[in-house]
Amino acid sequence: MKNVSTVIPCYAADTSGVCSALYELGGLTVVHDASGCNSTYSTHDEPRWYDKRSMIYISALTEMDAVMGNDEKLILDTVAAAADLRPEFITLCGSPMPMMTGFDYDAAAAEIEERSGIKCLPMHTNGTRSYIEGASEAFLAAVKAFAKEGPKVENGVAVLGATPLDFGLSGSIGSIRTWLGERGFETVSCLAVDSSFKDLERAALAKVSLVVSQSGLAAAKYLEKEFGIPYVCGVPYGKKYAERVERYLRWAMEDNETDWVDERSGRDFDTVVIGETVSAFSLCSALYWDLGIDAAVICPLPYEEGRLGRDLAMSAEEDIKAFLEECRPARVIADPLYRYVVPKDTRLTELPHFAFSGRCFGQRIPDLINKDIKEFFE
């Protein structure tokens, strides 16, 4: 059987991606499911659960409701909750169960919006895809619905795709804000860590978007198309590579051009980075610019079509293991749980990814933003 994980876990699901993306933005998120998805999300995929309140609820779908197609119960409960809580907006997402019964998210969302008078965003999740797809759909829908056009903020930057699923609570998002401020930029919007509903409204006021994960790319493309805001994809890891990201941001503001900050030598690699596309490309570039290490990416998650050149898209555990056994890189940089598919004579540098290993190594996620990375990677 292909794509069966026997040793390593799977990444967080699309439902968790939606909840994570919208966690701090003042909305009411309803997960259509019996109960399991909410507990999985809160205990495995959401480190903010005990520190920050959020209106994330489960629909408590019963077997009889599913069999009989009783959508009215979900609609009535959601409208009643919205009347009590008065959220900025409502989001409706789901799990494998409503997918199997053929639940119509668009129709239910339209009915909820009409009855409640509050904007309702339908998310077409099913619990079988990765968090990237869920968070990407959520960011895009939220920006489409609430970003307000207005005068551009001088040197304004919108940070897109920031969630704990990719950065944990390592302080990296705060460090990105600090780094931007120190270089004369103003963070007008950050979606969505240490954020609010105003960040959604202000997203279209930026002069450029900084996309820090694949989850923010669809929203960045929308802002570019609708509001003429170029975007730059890159996470300012290391010192020298952070300077490259700054330079690309200034070029984007001046020339209105979009680009990825993916700069490596193209030589034969001796290091492999496994992870999410934007972060992994940025780390490989930082290794090259800061330490002279040439690295390639294995991407087990969704990525932009045509973005991978010599890099590899591999989602199957057996494919990743077979490739590493064949090419025998000197080092693999990946979440600690990848140790079980890394050859014994290959050095593993552990870089925890919250969307992969959850709370297991959450306290060990480093903040590499504009830092000297020599000690960590040499």
Residue 35 pLDDT grade (very low, low, confident, very high; cuts 50, 70, 90)? confident
In this prediction, residue 25 carries a pLDDT of: 97
pLDDT, average across residues 279-285: 93
Mean of all residue pLDDT scores within the chain: 91
Least reliable range by pLDDT among 5-14, 43-52, 261-270: 261-270
In this prediction, residue 267 carries a pLDDT of: 66
DSSP codes joined into one string, 107-159: HHHHHHHHHH-S-EEE----SSSBHHHHHHHHHHHHHHHH----PPPTTEEEE
pLDDT tens digits along 101-155: 888 999 999 999 999 999 999 999 998 899 999 999 999 999 999 999 999 999 9
Do the Cβ atoms of 260 and 307 come closer than 8 Å?
Answer: yes
pLDDT for 232 beyond 90: yes
Residue 37 pLDDT grade (very low, low, confident, very high; cuts 50, 70, 90)? low
In this prediction, residue 184 carries a pLDDT of: 96
Share of the chain above pLDDT 90, in %: 72
Q: CATH number of the domain at 271-377, please?
A: 3.40.50
Residue 99 pLDDT grade (very low, low, confident, very high; cuts 50, 70, 90)? confident
Residue 65 pLDDT grade (very low, low, confident, very high; cuts 50, 70, 90)? confident
> Dihedral sign, CA of 169, 126, 132, 255?
negative
Residue span(s) of the chain under CATH 3.40.50.1980 come to: 14-129, 146-260
Choose among 165, 99, 160: nearest CA to 127.
Answer: 99
- CATH class, domain 146-260, is alpha beta
Do the Cβ atoms of 238 and 374 come closer than 8 Å?
Answer: no
- CATH class, domain 14-129, is alpha beta
